Chains A and B, each alone.
Chain A
Amino acid sequence: MSNEEEIQANLEKKEVRAIFIIMGLSLLIFVIFVVSLFYGVGEIPRQTVLDILFNNGGTRGQIYVVKDMRVPRAICAATVGAGLAISGMAMQALFRNPMASPSTLGISSGAAFGASIAIAFGIGTSIGGAPMMAFIFCLITMLTVYALSITRHGTPVTLLLLAGVALGSFFGGLTSFLHFIVDAEALQNVVYWTLGSFERCYWSAVRTGVPVIVVGMIVLCFTIRELNIISLGEEQAESLGVNTRRVKLTILLGTSLTVGGCVAISGVIGFVGLIIPHICRALTGPNHKILAPMCIVSGAIFMMLMDILSKSGLILDSVIPVGVLTSLLGAPFFIYIMRKKKTEFW
């Protein structure tokens, strides 16, 4: 066996192993999904939850809580986690920057501002309120960032990044201004939204937000091959026949759809788009063919676990916004992985 064949065989072996890991994690999603139905602010015995799911048991209130509140909430958590993770992965590959995440392009800030004005002033109530306004502002931000980055020589990644940071700061400033001028009640809600939570995720959120996220994720999945090439550098990618402009636009569109849907469902949940791709990359390597599905399942599992912690009352005996937990628990874990992997981290 030649050296080249040996490398190829090793790669294939690694790929098969990774696919088994992904399949295993996919099954774990179902287990965690059921476990998540056991937890909530309302007290329902676990046996009753299982009876409701499999034996048509429970009172009307218990059935409503499990089927119409906890199930859609768990679906939303899984989808948002998966969406944010793959978006972060795509951003990091596109910008060849380990710090890139959905918030880098200002998308999260734009969406948060859209939701905030809906909550504070009731703008957009007729078209769906805060979730829809979050989605609209997500798209507006993405298009503005892209428009600002267009030059005669294309759309340089650096310009995209800078425009994203600038626009993110701008929307962040507007949201802070909103905090300053709204009354105390509205402020509380705006802040709650910006902390991120699945507290208001019902079937309506599944119907309106999840399809958008899934479409966005599929769009991103169709750029996997190009992501591997573009990670080497734009010039090299173009020399290999990749239409970098089209790829960038596709990734921006996919990310906007995904993040817009996520923010519309849950508010702003930070850090997931940053840490999950890094952790997955540390575990499976930089090949996006493996990394993408790994990010999807890991993001879903991570977010469902965070949501269980958030609503279980295990911390502070009260519901904690999930965005707070992702940062508080994700950051130390991220630092641990980063220190352990050191040089091979990126």
Chain B
Amino acid sequence: MNAKIAAIIAIVVIVAAGAGGAVVLTQNHGNNSNNGNGGSGDSTPTEKGGWYAWDPTVVITKTAYYGQSPMLYKGAAEMFKTIYGKDVNTSQYTSSQVPADFLSYDSLIVAEDNVNNTVTIDSIIRNTKDSGGNYTWHHENTVVPVNPDWMICTGSYVALLYELIKIHNGGTADQSAVFNYVYGLDKSALAGGTSDINEIYGLTVPNTVVSINSTYSLNTQSNLTQYLNAYDAAHAQSKKLVTMMSGSTGPTYDQMIAEDGFLKKSAEYSEVTNLFFGATSVAEVFSSIEALGAVFGLKDEAQTFIQETRTNFYNMYMQAKEVTPQKTVYWESRNNASACGQNNISSTILDLLNLKNIVTGEGWVKGFGDENVVLKEPSVIIFYTGDSRTMDQMMRVATA
């Protein structure tokens, strides 16, 4: 047999497997769509195909909403409107009607010293894993001067502080009132960053604010240098500086207190205080808002903000609960990196929206799989803005 013919036969075998299968299956597909077989296949699939086949409600939201952000409720309320077709009636229940255990939180404020004008905060930093493979958390009572001169933080803390200042002023405030405090901002908060503070909160960052690398790599030389430069500036000008960041940084507490570690180095500056907050639940978000208020002498305003947010969420929860049957939901992160599972801020929002999550794993789950989404046909699908895929690609259209 001619060798070329043998080789081409082999190729043809493979191509025939695909082409033949495709033709047969496409024909079967047509038959199947008409046979009304089982499950939710009774409804007419939309013409677009992909995940549109079962006609789910698609929600697009912003990553930056679901953390220590003043937009936490706004993000959820927007979803409520998209999913249920109406706004949340925020006056159905008043704050006094909200049960005490609804979105309750533990205070991080350990002590307040009105003489020395300091507040002691329970700072939470991720540490090494235990024998069960779970992270342990280091708690450190950190004494913070009330009303520090400068702060370094992410955009969401700035936005939160601005909200508290507005409450303090009776509803409005000049942006300079908050930016007077801001020495440096995480670079993701600046124009073009993933958490662009102007795009999300409408805040315009003055040129004087220094762009700082993410806290996630605090122990690297370049990041450490940036922070130490800021601390040098605070020292030179005798400014009290507070750095606020997530407790889930790249290096662990043990690594940060080791020689040349971030905490070891920053301890050399008496003007500097580092505060670490947890951000894995709505309760932790409220705790950190309260702590932020205490640090800037706005504790009552923080309480007002938290109470208002809890009341809004309670109204939303009670109205969503009235909807039957309960809708199912699938929440995909940008570019399908993971899917929202259980026990995180986003899953709490889903609970408040009375949506049943089809993903049962803990945290944000990798590899949930398109097959599972198709088999479970969630009635609501949530994506984030800033996804590099087109809407059709996200909904797996033109894939069939």
Contacting residues, chain B, for A22 (C-beta < 8 A)? 6, 10
Contact mask for chain B residues 12-56; partner A; CB cutoff 8 A; 1 contact, 0 none: 011101100110010011011101011111000100000001100
For B, the interface residue count at a CB cutoff of 8 angstroms equals 59
Chain A residues with Cβ below 8 Å from B372 are 41-42
Interface check A221, CB cutoff 8 A: yes
When distances are taken between beta carbons in the complex, the residues of chain B under 8 Å from A125 are 388-390
The answer to whether B14 touches A296 (Cβ under 8 A) is: yes
Q: Shortest beta-carbon distance, A154 to chain B, in Å?
A: 26
With a CB–CB cut-off of 8 A, which chain B residues contact A300? 14
Are B17 and A185 within 8 A (Cβ)?
no
Query: A26 near B: Cβ within 8 Å?
Result: yes
The reply to whether B28 and A67 form a contact with Cβ atoms under 8 Å apart is yes
| Chain A facing B: main interface SS | helix
Closest residue of chain B to A210 (Cβ to Cβ) is B18
Pick from B8, B17, B368: contact of A41, CB under 8 Å = B368
Interface size class of A (residues with CB under 8 A): 35 or more
Contact status A79-B18, CB under 8 Å: yes
Given A42-B372, A67-B25, A189-B337, the answer on whether A58 and B11 have CB atoms closer than 8 Å is no
Stretch at the interface among B134-142, B273-281, B318-326, B373-381: B373-381
Closest to A298 in B: B10
Q: When the two chains form their complex, are residues A58 and B37 in contact, meaning their CB atoms are under 8 A apart?
A: yes
- Interface segment among B81-89, B98-106, B328-336: the answer is B328-336
Any chain B CB within 8 A of the CB of A38? no
Contacts A29-B13, A78-B14, A218-B11 known; A59 to B40 CB distance under 8 Å? yes
Q: Are B18 and A69 in contact (CB under 8 A)?
A: no
Contact of B115 with A by CB under 8 A:
no
Within 8 Å CB of B370, what residues of A? 69, 199
Known contacts A293-B6, A300-B14; is-contact A60 B41 (Cβ 8 Å): yes
Say what secondary structure dominates the interface of chain B: helix
Cα–Cα, bound, A222→B4 (Å): 7
* Interface membership of A173, Cβ < 8 A: no
Residues of the A chain whose Cβ atoms lie less than 8 Å from the Cβ of B194: 183
Among A1-9, A91-99, A138-146, A200-208, the one that faces the other chain is A200-208
Task: Tell me the complex Cα distance, A82–B14, Å.
Answer: 9
Let me know if A79 and B14 touch, CB within 8 A: yes
Answer yes or no: A188 CB below 8 A from chain B CBs.
yes
**Distance, CA A79 to CA B400, complexed state (A):** 18
A204 and B398: CB pair below 8 A?
yes
A61 pairs with B39, CB closer than 8 A: yes
The complex places the Cα of A121 from the Cα of B399 at a distance, in Å, of 22
| Complex interface: chain A residues within 8 A of B14 (CB) | 29, 78-79, 82, 214, 296-297, 300
Q: Give the distance in Å from the alpha carbon of A104 to the alpha carbon of B188 in the complex.
A: 38
Q: Which residue of A lies closest to B373 (CB)?
A: A42
B236 interface residue per 8 A CB criterion: no
A residues near B375, Cβ cutoff 8 Å: 42-44, 61-62, 65
Q: How far is the CB of B399 from chain A (nearest CB, A)?
A: 3
Say whether, besides A41-B371, A69-B370, A186 and B37 are in contact (CB < 8 Å): no
- Whether the Cβ atoms of B53 and A64 lie closer than 8 Å is yes
**Bound CA span A203–B335, Å:** 20
How many Å lie between the Cα of A300 and that of B17 in the bound state? 12
Q: A41-B371, A203-B400 are in contact. Are A121 and B39 (CB under 8 A)?
A: no
**B interface residues with partner A (beta carbon < 8 Å):** 1, 3-4, 6-11, 13-15, 17-18, 21-22, 25, 28-29, 31-33, 35, 37-41, 45, 53-54, 188, 194, 216, 333-338, 366-372, 374-377, 388-390, 393, 396, 398-400
Q: List 18 A-B contacts (CB under 8 A).
A: A19-B1, A22-B6, A29-B14, A40-B369, A42-B371, A52-B28, A56-B32, A60-B38, A64-B400, A67-B29, A69-B370, A79-B18, A188-B338, A214-B11, A288-B3, A289-B4, A292-B3, A300-B14
| Chain A residues within 8 Å of B, Cβ to Cβ | 15, 19, 22, 26, 29-30, 33, 40-44, 52-53, 56-65, 67-71, 75, 78-79, 82, 118-122, 125, 129, 183-186, 188-189, 192, 199, 202-204, 206, 210, 214, 217-218, 221-222, 224-225, 288-290, 292-293, 296-297, 300, 318-319
Q: Which 9 A-B pairs have the closest CB atoms?
A: A289-B3, A60-B41, A42-B371, A59-B39, A202-B399, A41-B369, A75-B18, A293-B10, A122-B388
Given known contacts A58-B37, A59-B39, A297-B14, what 14 new A-B pairs fall within 8 Å (CB)? Answer: A41-B367, A58-B38, A61-B374, A68-B400, A75-B22, A79-B14, A186-B335, A188-B337, A189-B335, A192-B337, A210-B15, A214-B11, A293-B6, A296-B7
